[in-house]
C-alpha cells in the first residue's frame, strides 16, 4: 500500500494545467480538484479530441495492505470510448510499474 505520496501533475505545466504528449493526440489537462486526504485528483481534458471529458483517480488500501487504484472517465463523444479505454490501460500499466518499482520518491516536499 502506498502510505504517503503527494499528488502531482507531470509535464509542461502552467498553474493548473498539464500537457500530455505521450501518445497522439497531444492533450491539455486541467486540474479540477485534488483531495490529498482521499488521494483523489479530478481533471478535465480541455484541448484534444473530446467534446467533454472529466476524470478522477483514487488510491486506497483494500484492507489487506494492498493498493487499490480506481480511475473513472466520463467522455463525449462515445465513439472515443475504445480509444480512451486503451489509453487508460496504458496509464494504469505505468502506475502499476511505478508502484511495483523501487524507483519512486515518496513523501518529499
DSSP string for residues in 18-76: EEE-SSSSPEEEEEEEEETTTTEEEEEEEESS-SEEEEEEEEEE-SSS-EEEEEEEEEE
Q: What is the CA radius of gyration of the chain?
A: 14
pTM of the entire predicted model: 0.71
- Domain boundaries along the sequence of the chain: 11-69
- Per residue in 53-104, pLDDT (tens digit) is 999 999 899 999 888 889 999 999 999 999 999 989 988 888 788 878 866 5
| 5, pLDDT greater than 50 | no
Digit-coded pLDDT (tens) for 43-63: 999 888 899 999 999 989 999
Amino acid at each position: 500500500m502506498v502510505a504517503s505520496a503527494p499528488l502531482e501533475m507531470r509535464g509542461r505545466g502552467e498553474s493548473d494545467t498539464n500537457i500530455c504528449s505521450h501518445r497522439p493526440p497531444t492533450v491539455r489537462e486541467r486540474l479540477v480538484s485534488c483531495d490529498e486526504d482521499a488521494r483523489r485528483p479530478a481533471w478535465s481534458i480541455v484541448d484534444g479530441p473530446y467534446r467533454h471529458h472529466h476524470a478522477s483517480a483514487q488510491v486506497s488500501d483494500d484492507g489487506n495492505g494492498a493498493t487499490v487504484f480506481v480511475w473513472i472517465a466520463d467522455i463525449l463523444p462515445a465513439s472515443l470510448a475504445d480509444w480512451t479505454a486503451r489509453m487508460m490501460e496504458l496509464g494504469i500499466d505505468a502506475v502499476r510499474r511505478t508502484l511495483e518499482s523501487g524507483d519512486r520518491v515518496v513523501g518529499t516536499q
